[in-house]
Amino acid sequence: MIEQLSTIFSYEFMRNALIASFWISLAAGVIGALVVLNRIVSISGGIAHAAYGGVGIAYYFGQDPMIGALLFSTVSALIMGAAQRKSKSGADTLIGVMWSIGMAIGIIFISLTRGYKANLMSYLFGSILAVSGSDLRLMTLVAALVLGFVIFNYRNLLAISYDETFSTVRNLPVTLLYLTMLVLVGLTVVVAMRMVGLILVIALLSIPPAIALYHFKDVRAIMLISVVLSFLFCFFGLVISFQTNIQAGPVIILLASVAFLLSSLVRRLHLSRKS
Amino acid sequence: MDKQAVVSIKDLWAGYEADTVLEDVNFEMYQDDFVGLIGPNGGGKTTLIRVILGLLKPEKGTITVMGQQAARGRKHIGYVSQFQVEDKQFPISVWDVVAMGRLRPNPFHNFRLASHDKEAIETALEETGIADLRERTMNELSGGQRQRVYISRALATEPKILLLDEPTSSVDSQSSNQLYDLLAQLNDHIAILLISHDLTAISSNVKTIGCVNRRLVYEGNKELTPEMIEAGYGCPIDLIAHGVPHRVLPGHQYEDHHD
C-alpha cells in the first residue's frame, strides 16, 4: 500500500496535485463552512459559472484564462452580493441570470477562438495535469487570504452569519464583511476549479461543511473538520483517479457525495434511536 | 420637568416605497419607563422597531434615541430579537451568542475580547440566571432559555434601553411570568420598550401601555381606554380574541391571576 502510494506520488504532476489539494482544501473548507452557514450556496454557484465568461474572454485575447476567471468571479461576487444585501428575493433571479450569462459569454468566445481548445474542458471538469507552479502559488495565496480573513474576523463573521440585524444595530461593518467573504468565495472557486472544475466546485465547497454540521456544534470545529474531509476526498480521489484512469474531479466529488449520504444515514439512525 | 426622552418620535411617517405603514406617530419614552405596545400583525410593529433601530429611514418626521439620530443612538439600545426557526440549525454556544453583545465596529477590538468584555459577558449571563448554560448550544435550549440568552446578549451591550420584539412568542406561560419578573428587576436601571401582537404578552408589570396600528395611540397610561381602542382600530380584535381584556381594560384588577 505504502509502496503503491510512493510510486503514485513519485510523479511530479501527482505531487503537485497533492500540494494543490492541501491548499484548496484549506481555503474551501474554511470558506465553505461560511457558505453553508450563510445559505449562500446558490450565490457561490453563480460566481463559479460566471467565472467561465472570464475564461472565454481571456482565452480569446490570448491571455491567461485564470486571470479572466479571477476578474469575472470577483466582479460577479460583488454584484450578486450587493443585490443580496438589498433584497434577498430580488437577488435570486439575478444570480440565475448572471450564472447563465457567464456560461454563454464563455462558450461564445471560446467558439470564436481558432485553434486547439481541448484543454478548455479542464476549466469545466478539472484536471490534475493542469496544475502548474504558478497555480500552486496562487492557491497558497488564496488559502492564506481566506485563513487570515476568517481568523482575524472570526467573531464578526459569526455575528453576521447568525444575526445580521443585531450585527447592524451594533454598527458592525456588515456589508464590508459580507462582500469580502463573497470575493474570497470567488477566489476559492477559481483555484479549486483547477482540480475539480467549475461545474463541480460547488460540491467541494458545500459537502464537507454539510457533513461536519451534522456532527459538530462549533463553527471552528466545523471549519477544521471540513478542511480535513475535503483533503481526504481529494487525496483518495487522486489515488483512485490515477489507478483507474478516470478524471480526478468527478471521482473526488462522487467520493464526497457518498460520504455525505452515508453521514446523513448515520445521523438519521442516531436521531431515530434517540426519539 | 426637563428630563430627556430616551426615545423621541415626532410626526413620523414611515413605510416601504409607496406603501406607508406608519402615519403621524408621536411617542416619548423616559429613563424609568416600561412601555408595552400592542398591535395586530401588519399594523406596523416591525416597521416601528426598524425605525427606532435606524434600519429604516422615516419618510417624514424625526426619531431620536438618547438625543441622537437613530443610527447613531442605537448603540444604547439592547435589542432583543425574536428567535427565528432557522437559527435552530446554527451551531453556536450560549456564550458565543452573548459575546456578540460586546462586539464593536473596530475589528481589532473584536479579534481578541478583553478580560473586561469577558467579565461583562459573565455578568450578563448571571443577571438572567443562565450562567450554567454558557457551554450549551442554542438548539438544546427551551424557548424561555433562548429568550434569556437574547436578553443577556442585549444586556452585554450595557444598554440604556431594552427593546423587545415579541418576547413571549414560543415561551410557555410559566417562563413568560418569570421573564416579566426579570424585566421588572431590570427596569430599575434600564428603560424597557416591549412590542407584541399578543395582548396576553403584556403583563401587569408594564407601567404604561399603547396601541400601534398605522397610528400609535399612547398617552402614558397604564390602562387601555375605549378611546385608545377606537383610535387604534384593529387593536380590539386581538383584545377580544384572546379573551383577557380585564388585564388592561379600566375598572378591573389583575390581582386574582397571581399565585
How confident is the model over A185-218, as pLDDT tens digits? 999 999 999 888 988 899 999 999 999 999 999 9
Structural domain total, chain A: 1
Is the pLDDT reported for residue A120 higher than 80?
A: no
Averaged pLDDT, A14-27:
95
Q: Between the CA of residue A142 and those of A90, A111, A222, B32, B232, what are the distances in Å?
A: 30, 30, 20, 53, 57
Q: C-alpha angle with apex A218: A215 to A224, nearest 5 degrees? A: 80
The answer to which of A78-92, A127-141, B214-228 has the lowest mean pLDDT is B214-228
pLDDT of residue B217: 85
Q: Centre a 10 Å sphere on the Cβ of residue A119 and count the other Cβ atoms it contains.
A: 12
pLDDT of residue B241: 41
Averaged pLDDT, A134-154:
96
* Residue A275 pLDDT class (50, 70, 90 cuts): low
The answer to whether residues A62 and A109 touch, using CB atoms and an 8 Å cutoff, is no
Q: What's the start-to-end Cα distance of chain B, in Å?
A: 38
With CB atoms and an 8 Å threshold, state whether B79 touches A167: no
Residue with cell 397610561: B221
pLDDT of residue B154: 97
User: Nearest Cα to B193, choosing from B55, B66, B80?
Assistant: B80
Instruction: Kindly give, in sequence order, each residue whose CB lies less than 8 Å from that of residue B203, ignoring residues fewer than 6 positions away.
Output: B176, B177, B180, B247
Tell whether B85 lies on the interface with A, counting CB pairs under 8 A: no
Alpha-carbon distance B168 to B148, whole Å?
A: 11
3-state secondary structure of B39: coil
Is the pLDDT reported for residue A96 higher than 60?
A: yes
Q: Which of A149, A153, A217, A219 to mutate to test the interface with B (most CBs of B within 10 A)?
A: A217
Instruction: Kindly give, in sequence order, each residue whose CB lies less than 8 Å from that of residue B139, ignoring residues fewer than 6 positions away.
Output: A217, B88, B89, B90, B91
With CB atoms and an 8 Å threshold, state whether B75 touches A171: yes
Tell whether B113 lies on the interface with A, counting CB pairs under 8 A: yes
Q: Which three cell numbers stand for residue A266?
A: 448515520
B122 domain-assigned? no
Residue A216 structural domain: 2-274
Alpha-carbon distance B73 to B56, whole Å?
A: 14
Here the CATH number for the domain that contains residue A107 is: 1.10.3470.10
The mean pLDDT of chain A is 92
pLDDT of residue B230: 61
Interface of A with B (CB under 8 A): 37, 152-156, 158-159, 161-163, 165-173, 213, 216-219, 222
ipTM for the predicted complex comes to: 0.90
With CB atoms and an 8 Å threshold, state whether B90 touches A169: no
Residues of chain B with pLDDT under 70: 1-2, 85-86, 199-201, 203, 224-259
Given CA atoms A14, A20, A21, A22 in this order, what sign does their dihedral have? positive
Q: Which of A160, A162, A164 to mutate to test the interface with B (most CBs of B within 10 A)?
A: A162
Identity of the residue numbered A85: R
User: Of B89, B99, B105, which has the smallest distance from its Cβ to A172's Cβ?
Assistant: B105
Here the CATH number for the domain that contains residue B194 is: 3.40.50.300
Is the pLDDT reported for residue A160 higher than 90?
A: yes
Alpha-carbon distance B38 to B246, whole Å?
A: 15
B78 domain-assigned? yes
pLDDT of residue A70: 96
